[in-house]
A and B are shown apart, each in its own frame.
Chain A
Amino acid sequence: MKFTEYLKYLLIGTGFGFVLVKSEVVSWFRIQEMFRFDSIHMYGIIGLAVIVGIISVQIIKRKNMKDAEGNPISIPPKDPSQVTRYIVGGSIFGLGWALLGACPGPMFALLGSGLTIMVIPILAALAGTYTYGLLRDKIPH
C-alpha cells in the first residue's frame, strides 16, 4: 500500500470517528435510550445509514462498477445457514453492547475523545476476540 492510500483510509476513518461523536452514537446514554425504545435517534441513524448503503451497493452491483484500482468489486456473501453463530454470537455481542454502551467503533472514538479508561474495554474486547479464536472449534456455529 502506498502512502497516499494510507492517507485515504486515515481520512475516511477520521470522518467516521468524527460523525460517531457528533451524532452521539458513542454515548452510553444513547445506547440505553435505544434499547428502551425511548427515542428515534439511534434508529434514525442506523436506518438512514442502511438505506443509503442499500441504494449505493445496488448501484455498484448493477453497474458492475470497479474500484479505484480498476478491480471488480465483489462482496463476499455470509452463510445464513449458520443460524447458531448469528443468533448466539449476536446475542452475546448485544449483551456487551448494552452493558458497555459502546460497540467497537465507538470504543476507539471515545478513547480519542480523551476518555482514557476506554483502554480497559478495548483490551477486554481483544481478550474476548482471542478467546473466540481459542474456542472456535469447540462451540457450535
Chain B
Amino acid sequence: MLDFLYQPWPWYVAGPIIGLTVPILLLLGGKMFGVSANLRHACAACNFGNIEFFNYDWKKDGRWNLTFLIGTILGGFLGGYVFANPEPIQLAASTITDLQALGIQDFSGLVPNDLFAWDMLGTGVGLTVLVLGGFLVGFGARYAGGCTSGHAISGLSDLQLASLIAVIGFFIGGLIMTFFIYPIILG
C-alpha cells in the first residue's frame, strides 16, 4: 500500500503538486515561492564586509523561507533516504548512450557517482562540476533575480515577462553547457 512512497512519481502527478506550492505560500502568508533567495538571506546573516546588497533585515524577510528550506532538506531525507527508490532512473535510451560516450558509467543513483563523490574534489572534473557549477548557480540566480522556482515557476505563474526572459536565458546557458562545454570537460 505504501508502494507509491518508494516509487518514482510520474511528471503529470509531480508537476501539479509543485505548481500548488505557489498559491499555498501566497494564501498562507502572501509569500512568493523562490528557493535561491535563501542564499541571499544566508549571506545577509553573515555579511562580511558590510555589503549593501546584504544589508537588510534578513530575519524579517527570510525566516519563513529558511524554514521552508530546512523542510526541503527534510523532504529530501524522506524521499531520497527513508523512502528511496531502489531502482535506477528510467532515462531515455538516447541520453544514456550519450552520457556513456562521455564516460559516465554509474547510472544507479539520482546523480552519477563517478562525479558526485568526495574523492572527485581532488580532480579537475570534480572541481569544475561541484565548485564551478555551484558558483555559477548562486551567482547567476542572484544576477537574474531568481532561479527555477522564482522565475520558471513563480514568475511564469504570474505571467511576468521578466521571468520569461530569464527562463530563455536559463536555456541559452544550459544548451551551451550541454552541447559545447560539457563534452570538453568530460573529454
Contacts and interface: CB of A to CB of B under 8 A. Distances in A.
Interface size range on B against A: 35 or more
Interface bracket on A: 35 or more
Given A29-B95, A90-B144, A133-B142, A12 B89 contact: no
Interface string A39-77: 111101111111111101101100001011101111111
Contacts of A86: 144-145, 162-163, 165-166, 169
B173 A95 contact: yes
A20 B134 contact: no
A14 B173 contact: no
A1 B15 CA distance: 30
For the complex, would chain B's binding face be called helix, strand, loop or mixed by DSSP majority? helix
B72 A17 contact: yes
Contacts, number: 512
A78 B150 CA distance: 11
Interface string A19-51: 111111111111111111011111011111111
Contact of A113 (B13, B81, B175): B81
B140 A95 contact: yes
B68 A79 contact: no
9 contacts: A12-B21, A20-B79, A56-B22, A85-B143, A85-B144, A109-B76, A112-B81, A121-B130, A128-B139
Interface of A: 1, 5-6, 8-36, 38-42, 44-54, 56-57, 59-60, 65, 67-69, 71-80, 82-83, 85-105, 107-118, 120-134, 136, 139
